[in-house]
Amino acid sequence: MKDNKENNGEKPDFDDIESRASSEPVKEGFKWGPFSFMRRMFFLDVDPLVNHGFNTRLEPGDVYPEPTVQATRLNSFFEPAWEKEQKKPNPDLRLTIWAGNLSTLLVTAVLYGVSQACSLAGPMLLQRIVAGISCLGSEGAFPPGTITSTALASFLAPALQSLCENHCIFKMYVMGPRMRDSLMAAIYRKCLKLSSSSLQGESQGRVVTLMSNDAQKLQDAAYALHSIWGAPAIIMMVLALLWFQVGWATFVGLGVMLTLIPITGFLAAKLGSYRKDLMGWTDKRVGLMSEIINGIQMIKFYAWEAPFNVEVMKYRNNEADILRALAFWQGMFGMLLFVGPVAVAVFCFGSYSIAGNQLSPAAAYSALPYFSLLRFPLGFLPMLVTMVVNAMVALGRIQGFLLRKEVSDDEAQSRKGTPGEVIIQDGHFVWDEEAMDSVLKDINFEAKPGSLTMIVGSVGSGKSSILSALIGHMSHKSGTMSMGGDVAYVAQTSWIMKDMVQENILMGHDMDPDRYDMVPPGTQGSSSTSRPEDLTQW
């Protein structure tokens, strides 16, 4: 059943999934929801799951599948929106993504703005409290009620900040996988509909990279999306507030922070380089250990334990060296994070005092939190910009793939006629539409309903090409072709799950010992666990 918005011709909104989630049936057994507004407000809806895990061992079925991140449901919203966008002269995948998550983006923007406003309100309230306490007993002192209400506000502001910030992070952490899964499903469906000319320009590795790496970059950027516009705004507001506290000395502290940024970048680059090297050596060691475990019988038979032990220890020693260096640079990075704000305050307040100005306690106590607020946007803004740029590049690559030519209905030909009947008369087919010579010429083929047809020929004679022509993967230049009904095509590609042999045989079905003993034929022995010699090595 399609959404009402689709029926009305409007662009479907991915956020409508959340409204439909409430109508989903609650999982039987372990009680999960529905929850009140207050429980969701303070994230108390996870208490039943935590209590259940405290009392018994959690199973995968104990976690209720969240409807808002189901790939099938996400694709049902994304695909119509993207098809509508493709009808425009210049389709833009970003508009489809943003429009589909518009309500989430607006809500999280408000939550992010409120949390940042509360973070700025903390130092201002602290300054007022310190100024009020320092004036007690003197003329013009604040009324006691004013100080009390300000202290109460200084307590409520961080609480509201934490609440809004965590809800913003939670919603962005839900939106990120939704965008990634929507793109992954779209890429997968596109692979099934690419034309022959498009298939020639694509490789399996590139498609895998689009689904895993490029789609993941969009999810990573979604977490920090609001920081891109929020970080510059925070920097400007904090500098303006600091100017009212310490005047021109603000730029002295800012200069020290700007000096620390390249140092932070250098340390981050060193950490990234060592982590990359560590992953490489870890992969080599794990691969070697897997080979050793798989061939342990041969190693024990030929007494090769010592040579293989030397190889393993070589990889482990390299890992240990990198881990020691990594620990050192991590310590330097952590030290810089703690020393940086202190150095900024020392230079700022020192220059302010050397110039002959008197630093009041209220100004000092309120300026220190402001410098702390500047640390994150100044230190991580370049990283955030890089994440967003990488996401935009990845979106461009995915959009280029999704805009590639598909197998048209004309190439697939008519679906009319007797169900199960396939007829080709004087068919000429080519892989590339621009090619002049036909790969298949004067093809006359007929498959009758209810019959089994086999195509036999030498290597390279065109057996697979005929199958590709039938499903529309080859361009039809001339002749006629008709197929009655839909087509199910099983390509000649072997594969095996990364699991036990038993699971590769069962393929997700329940275990039937009697039937399992019959697969494969020729089971040796009478035990239900005995297997042919080639499978016992697994």
Over residues 297-322, the pLDDT tens digits come to 888 888 899 999 999 999 999 999 99
Q: What is the pLDDT of residue 467?
A: 85
**Is residue 19 over pLDDT 60?**
no
Which residues have a Cβ under 8 Å from the Cβ of 512 and sit 6 or more positions away?
A: none
Between the alpha carbon of residue 448 and those of residues 88, 415, 476, the distances in Å are: 43, 15, 22
pLDDT of residue 361: 81
Torsion sign (Cα): 208, 210, 214, 218:
negative
- Looking at domain 101-402, its CATH class is mainly alpha
CA distances to 1, 369, 433, 438, 443 from 410, in Å: 28, 67, 14, 18, 18
CA–CA gap between residue 499 and residue 432 (Å, rounded)? 39
The Cα–Cα gap between 127 and 109 comes to 28
Q: Any idea where the domains of the chain sit in the sequence? A: 101-402, 409-483, 501-536
What's the whole-number mean pLDDT along residues 420-433? 82
pLDDT digits (tens, 9 = 90+) for 250-295: 889 888 888 888 888 788 888 878 888 888 888 788 888 888 888 8
pLDDT at 538 over 80: no
* Predicted model pTM: 0.70
The answer to whether 217 touches 391, Cβ cutoff 8 Å, is yes
- What pLDDT digit, counting tens, does each position of 323-360 carry? 999 899 989 988 887 788 788 888 988 998 898 888 88
Q: Which residue shows structure tokens 């425009």?
A: 88
Residues 348 and 129: their CA atoms lie apart, in Å, by 23
- Predicted confidence (pLDDT) per residue in 76-110, tens digit: 889 999 999 999 999 999 999 988 899 999 999 99
Torsions phi, psi for 424 (to 5 deg): -125, 130
Residue 488 pLDDT > 90: no
Q: Is 292 helix (H, G, I), strand (E, B) or coil?
A: helix
Assess whether the previous peptide bond of 520 is cis (omega < 30° from 0). Answer: yes
